[in-house]
Structure 1
Amino acid sequence: MVEKDDTTQRKLVHFVTQQTRFALINNILQHPDQLPSMYELEELNPSVSDATVYKHIQKLIDAGIVTEVALDDDHRRQGYPWKFYGLTDEGREFLAEHNLLAAEETLQQ
């Protein structure tokens, strides 16, 4: 992971712990494969609009915390999701460094 100064680190911690973004990160950690689809993320956050879920996932992608994983064309099936969202290695490392993964095992259960 690229070294960041303390101010940048604090800003990123504040960024990922914003309520909706942190809920989405926890949704990813709770998923059996840690790769939920957008539909699953939207269903897990009924108090937030679908557009807001999408916007926050995009912000997490832009920050390097989350990545989008798409199925190859030959594995896609009509009517089924083909894009999924998971933590990047750098994102997982950052969250671990700041004790934001402490509940991961509990969330998976």
Structure 2
Amino acid sequence: MSDISAHSKADREENPLERQRELMELLSQETRHSIIQVLLGHPEALASAGEINHFIPSKSKKTVEEQLGVLVEAGILEIYEYPPNKEKRGLPWKFYGFTEYSVGILVDFNYLEGVPMARAVHQKTRTPEKIERHETAPRPPLPESVRTAFRLDEKAE
């Protein structure tokens, strides 16, 4: 576990430079950065662990899972559950997505500028049937501010 979780949110808010350094450390670690890129490119900005693992083939599932946990603990990601999918075989019911808190961070660090490119890459990446099922699975809604930041309510051309 990194030092990031050892400091309280209040401590980070009192020292903006320390907060910025910690956020840079958090977001720049290779696997965490890749997870963020996958979510930036996802058409719903909300992906199952299976989808995330598919788009990060160079890392083990365990490594990705550990780093998802770090991002959740740091408030960058949240686990959004969709219980109706529990009853449906082959569909995920837990999804990872950005939080209202993390949208501000993504704006501050200009991550949202890369969304169109990340989505284009995502769209052009071949996916097996299982991952296509995951991508089209019903999922819970994101908070309105997250939907707005990712322009999820706007129809693609």
Confirm or deny a common fold (TM above 0.5).
yes
d(CA) in 2 for partners of 1:106, 1:44: 15
Matched, 1:87 2:80: no
C-alpha RMSD of matched pairs (Å): 1.8
Matched, 1:27 2:54: no
Q: Which moved more, 1:9-18 or 1:35-44?
A: 9-18
| Structure 1 stretches lacking a partner, 5+ long | none
The residue aligned with 1:10 is 21
Secondary structure in structure 1 of the residue aligned to 2:47: coil
d(CA) in 2 for partners of 1:44, 1:16: 17
d(CA) in 2 for partners of 1:38, 1:57: 9
Bigger radius of gyration among the two: 2
| Structure 2 stretches lacking a partner, 5+ long | 1-8, 121-157
The residue aligned with 2:4 is none
The residue aligned with 2:68 is 57
Tell me how far 1:79 sits from its aligned partner: 2.3
Q: Which has the higher contact order (CA 8 A, sep 6+)?
A: 1
Number of residue pairs matched by the alignment: 108
1:21 partner letter: R
| TM-score computed with the length of structure 2 as normaliser | 0.63
Tell me how far 1:101 sits from its aligned partner: 2.5
After superposition, the C-alpha distances for 1:30-60 in whole angstroms (9 at most, x for unaligned) are 1111111000111111110000000000100
d(CA) in 2 for partners of 1:86, 1:68: 7
Counterpart contact for 2:40–2:115, Cα < 8 Å:
yes
* 53, 59, 63: which one aligns with 1:42: 53
Tell me how far 1:25 sits from its aligned partner: 0.5
Structure number having the greater helix percentage: 2
d(CA) in 2 for partners of 1:99, 1:82: 30
d(CA) in 1 for partners of 2:40, 2:61: 20
The residue aligned with 1:100 is 111
**Identity level (%):** 31
d(CA) in 1 for partners of 2:111, 2:24: 9
